[in-house]
């Protein structure tokens, strides 16, 4: 079995997100955290979290990247339990049974993204279209070059290419707001 863990190759998540995830946390998509919000009105760090952040299960912090890792049944159980507790305490699930069912669904969805070799990196891009949150996931392989590139893009699964340019200076300015 494979699951997602947050990964941090540099300190950028500390500047991009209000609450960065701790490296090595179990990770889920976390789109549910935006339920009921007017995501079109999000700005700055909240918008960055919506557009490109995985949710760390323990901290409820965001991570730009997650890594596919091998996991045991015990890891799965611990991840579900931790997320269920957070759903109960932070998202006001009505009871632990409901929280646990929702946590199981979220963790299983994250596991469904792991149909690739352990070690691959996963990135998410979220948008809001037709009154629905749309997520696209991409896998990346850590670069093998000794200079310039942190990643080589290797695959886009069942998605049409979306041209999107990211201005790092603009992101930094938005994060400072």
**Pairwise CA distance, residues 113 & 29, whole Å:** 10
Considering the entire predicted model, what is its pTM? 0.78
In the numeric block, the tokens 């990247």 are attached to: 65
Over residues 125-151, the pLDDT tens digits come to: 999 988 889 999 999 876 644 444 555
**Pairwise CA distance, residues 13 & 62, whole Å:** 8
Give the rounded distance of the alpha carbon of 142 from its chain centre: 17
pLDDT at 42: 93
Burial of 92 (0-12, 13-18, 19+ CB in 10 A): exposed
Query: Is the pLDDT reported for residue 161 higher than 60?
Result: no
């Amino acid at each position: 079995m494979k699951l997602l863990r947050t990964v941090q190759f540099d300190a950028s998540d500390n500047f991009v997100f209000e609450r960065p995830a701790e490296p090595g946390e179990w990770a889920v998509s976390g789109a549910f955290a935006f339920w009921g919000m007017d995501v079109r009105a999000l700005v700055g760090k909240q918008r960055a979290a919506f557009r490109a952040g995985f949710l760390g299960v323990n901290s409820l912090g965001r991570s730009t990247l997650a890594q596919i890792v091998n996991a045991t049944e015990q890891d799965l159980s611990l991840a579900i339990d931790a997320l269920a507790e957070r759903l109960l305490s932070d998202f006001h699930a009505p009871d632990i049974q409901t929280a646990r069912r929702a946590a199981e669904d979220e963790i299983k969805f994250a596991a469904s993204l792991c149909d690739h070799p352990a070690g691959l990196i996963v990135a998410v891009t979220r948008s809001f279209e037709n009154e629905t949150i749309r997520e696209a996931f991409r896998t990346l392989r850590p670069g093998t070059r000794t200079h310039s590139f942190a990643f080589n893009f290797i695959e886009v699964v069942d998605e049409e290419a979306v041209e999107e340019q990211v201005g790092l200076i603009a992101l930094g300015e938005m994060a400072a707001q």
